[in-house]
Amino acid sequence: MNLRRFALLSSLVLFQPALLQAQEVFPVRLQMIEDKKAVLATVQTVDLTPARARIGGTVVELLVDEGSAVKDGEVIARIKDEKLQLEKQAVEARIASLQAERKLAKIALDRAQRLRKSGAGSQAKLDEARTNLDVVVKNLTAMENERGLVLQREREGAVLSPAKGRVISVKVTSGVVVMPGEAIATIADQTYILRIEVPERHARFIQHGDTVQVGERGTGNGMETLRTGNVRQVYPAMQNGRVIADVEVSGLGDFFIGERIRVFVSTGKRETYLVPQDYVYSRYGLHYVRLKDNREVVVQPGRLMDGKYEILSGLRSGDQLIGGGS
C-alpha cells in the first residue's frame, strides 16, 4: 500500500508543471479605476406642492392626515363661508323679483302692440314697452350670472389636491378660520430622488449624467448590495462649501422622505493593478498569488471591486499569474 501511494504522489509531482502550464494565464497590467467616496444622501421628492384654500372661511371638514395617499383633484378639505349663503339668498330674491318684472314688461309689450295695431297707441309707447322688457331681460341674465358666481365660490370651498402623491404635512385643523390662498396641506410627488452634498474639493468630478452607486436603507455596514443611479441635476450654487446634486434611482417609493442612504460618488481616477479574486489565496494570514513559473508572491490586496482585488503591493506590470494555491 505504501509503495502504491508513493508511486501516485510521484506521478502527481511529475505532471504538476504540465497542469500549471495548461491553466489560464492572467497578465498583470495597470488599469484605470475611479475612486469612490461615500456620502450620505437624503430621500427627497421632486416636487412639494401646497394645497391652498381658494376662499376664506371656516374649515368644516378635513379628509386627510399626514401620510395619506391622494389623487390629482381629490377633495382633501372643505371650507364654508356663512356669508355665501346670505349672498345666495339675496341673489335668489333678486332673480325672483326680476322674473316678476319681466312678466309685467311682457304683458305691457303685448298691450302696446295690440293698441298700435288698432291705431289707439303710439309708436313711442310701443318702443318704450319693448325697451323696458329688454332691460328687464338683461338684468335678469346678469343676476343669474351673479348666482352662478356665488355657487362657484361655494364649490371652491372644496380644497383639491394639486397632484397625485402623499400628504407630508397638514397645516390646519377642523374649525379654524383660513384666508384665501392659505396652505391647507403639503403634497409630495411620488417621484423620489436622492439629494447629496459633495465637498467643494470634489465638485469638479460630479457632472450631470454621472453614474453613482447607491447602498441599502440606512447608513449601511459596508457589506450592502449596491444599486446604480444617475445624477439628474447639479445645482449651480454652493451651500456651506458643498455642491448639491440630485440622484435618480429606481425603486425609492417605499422610502421615507428625509431618510438617509449611502451614495458612492466618483472623486477622480487613478491607475492600479486589478487581479481576479480566484487568483488570490490566503495562507497563515498572508495573501499570495502564483506566477506562471510556479513561484508564489506575497501581495497586499485592497478593496474588492466587481470580483477583482485591487493589489496595493507585490506585483508589477508584465507579471503573469495562474490560479492555484491552498
Per-residue pLDDT of 226-269, as tens digits, reads 788 889 888 888 888 888 999 988 877 667 788 888 888 877 77
For residue 245, give the nearest of 216, 219, 191, 208 by alpha carbon: 208
- Asked if residue 12 is part of any domain, the answer here is no
CA distance 210 to 191: 20
User: What's this model's pTM, rounded to 2 decimal places?
Assistant: 0.59
A 10 A CB-CB count for 203 gives 15
**What pairs with residue 45 in β-bridges?**
192
For residue 16, pLDDT over 60 is answered with no
CATH number of the domain where residue 214 is located: 2.40.30.170
Model confidence pLDDT, tens digit, residues 108-146: 888 888 888 887 778 888 888 889 999 999 999 999 999
pLDDT of residue 131: 92
- Asked if residue 196 is part of any domain, the answer here is yes
- Give SS3 for 143: helix
> Which positions ≥6 away from 303 have C-beta within 8 Å?
309, 310
A 10 A CB-CB count for 189 gives 16
Model confidence pLDDT, tens digit, residues 60-86: 999 999 888 899 999 999 999 988 989
- Asked if residue 281 is part of any domain, the answer here is no
Residue that terminates a domain, selected from 155, 180, 199: 155
Q: Dig out the grid coordinates for 240 from the structure.
A: 456651506
pLDDT of residue 228: 85
Confirm if 225 and 274 have CB atoms less than 8 A apart: no
**Pairing of the two strands 177-178 and 57-62:** antiparallel
Q: Are residues 258 and 195 part of one domain? A: yes
Range of the domain at 76: 48-80+157-189
CA distance 75 to 37: 45
- Asked if residue 316 is part of any domain, the answer here is no
pLDDT of residue 147: 92
For residue 6, pLDDT over 80 is answered with no
Residue that terminates a domain, selected from 220, 238, 270: 270
